[in-house]
Amino acid sequence: MSGSSLFKMRLVHLDLKGAPPKVSYLAEVFPLFHALGANGLLIEYEDMFPYKGHLRLLRAQHAYSPSEIKEILHLATLNELEVVPLVQTFGHMEFVLKHEALAHLREVAFFPNTLNPHEAESLALVGAMIDQVMELHPGARWLHVGCDEVYYLGEGEASRQWLQQEQNNKARLCLSHVKAVASHVLARHPATKPLVWDDMLRDIPEDQLSASGVPQLVEPMLWDYTADLDVHGKALLMEKYQKCGFRQLWAASAFKGATGVSQALTPIEHHLRNHMQWLQVAAHGPADTLQGIVLTGWQRYDHFSVLCELLPVGIPSLAVCLQSLLQGGFAEDVKTRVENFLGMPSLEITGFTSEGAASFPGSDILALVTQVGLHLRSSVDEMLYRDRYVTGWFSSYHRRRKLIHPVMIQHIQPQALSLLGRWSALAGELEAALRRVFYPDAVEEWLEENVQPSLQQLQQLLQDLGEAAGPGPPMASPGPDTGQEP
């Protein structure tokens, strides 16, 4: 079975708005991406791009330097991965509009995601962002300009007034901004074709899309990350876009970051099914319509949300999905190929990745995160809420009043110390592994979200034990003795 011709381009999405990897780690994984069947990258820089001049405030603390961007592009070229940069220009502008100096360009004041399309300064802003990104990506054949999830569009004061005019509607407002952004790209960088996410275009009537001029300027990327996507519906949508004048279309699947805002482990089966459905879409849709597919790997749902699965954790899923696209399906021989690529003795598809050893870059992080995700909270909860000595003799009532039977300390304290010691050692090992791949702020965030709460519960239990065991008032019964028989 071979489906490599169904998607000529197979791009791995790097979502850098959360836990951006160090360049040294990208140097390790790019050869693996290539070996697995990728031939391109969609790099969503967000605040990791080294913006300069009046845009310098957009940089994250650990933003890549211009020389690091050049190194990333060099590494991509060495591994035959064509880079498509992504710059958000309409929705998901949180990393820009969160800044007080740019907050006046929000469509509505309380929502920093969406840009006000009526302000000339808005287009000048995204134009400057595009030009700075393209300056470091000379020769890029495509530039993704985002334009997805433009929530609250039409609800700003300027939009409300504009919409009162005859023939004006939200679809026209959306299309006019997309057209302005795409026109800027093509005027300044004529060899570069703009790409857009398609969700804001889906429900616009054919005649309005056709008349807008947008289909001649951009290539839409149809995205759907569900395991049971509507194949027939996608084929109809592709036909609609073709009728409107879009010459090339793209698909976008997901290999991670699409099953839960705080997901720590990647459910491979979900993502495999998503890619199987996309293969059906490519097979049943109009021939040669899809230019390629982007395997998205979201790292946050938006700029303000928590981290979801880290890149090393999602690599087995990426491997399964890429190889399935390349081979036209997933069978035992494909599974064996993936295991060989990853150095895994056995890959678990239906549950979470097995805890056995693997040898791909970042596999130590996967192994440790799997232990945390499957066992840390459950083992602490088991002790705090199901251990008979804790629940029976050192409940929250006892802990608040610093009451405990002296013998019970011998039952509780050694077990709590042992559990804390084991998990603290693993947390130290995980922190060291994370620091090799990620910057300190990402390491701190992931541990604080996923590890520290459980360790702090154990530490608090031990502290309460110490205080209850120390010098204090004589032991009292937990409740008043009424002298009545129960």
Run of H or E including 297: strand 290-297
The yes-or-no answer on residue 149 being catalytic is: yes
DSSP 91-145: S--HHHHTSGGGGGGEEETTEEEEE-TT-HHHHHHHHHHHHHHHHTSTT-SEEE-
CA–CA separation, 252 and 291 (whole Å): 11
Measured over all CA atoms, what is the biggest interatomic distance in the chain, rounded to whole angstroms? 91
* Residue 149 region by backbone torsions, left for phi larger than 0, else alpha for psi between -120 and 50, else beta: left
CA distance 110 to 195: 28
- Residue holding tokens 């938006």? 302
**Residue 294, CA distances (Å) to 136, 222, 268, 320, 341 in order:** 22, 10, 17, 15, 21
**Which residues, other chains included, contact 33 with Cβ-Cβ below 8 Å and sequence gap of 6+?**
12, 41, 79, 81, 318, 322
Q: Is 181 helix (H, G, I), strand (E, B) or coil?
A: helix
How far is residue 453's CA from residue 134's CA, in Å, rounded to a whole number? 43
**Candidates 71, 82, 119, 149; catalytic one:** 149
Tokens of 245: 């004048």
Q: How far apart are CA 18 and CA 438, in angstroms?
A: 10
How far is 25 from 446, CA to CA, in rounded Å? 18
Please list, in sequence order, all residues whose beta carbon lies within 8 angstroms of the beta carbon of residue 273, skipping any fewer than 6 positions away.
Answer: 227, 228
- Is the distance from CB of 271 to CB of 297 less than 8 angstroms? no
The tokens describing 300, both together, are 């946050």
Q: Report the run of H or E that residue 320 belongs to, with start and end.
A: helix 311-327
CA-to-CA separations, 6 to 232, 235, 240, 284, 295, in angstroms, rounded: 17, 14, 20, 10, 14
Cβ contacts of 333 within 8 Å, gap of 6 or more: none
- Distance separating alpha carbons of residues 138 and 273, to the nearest angstrom: 37
Which residues does the annotation mark as catalytic?
Answer: 149
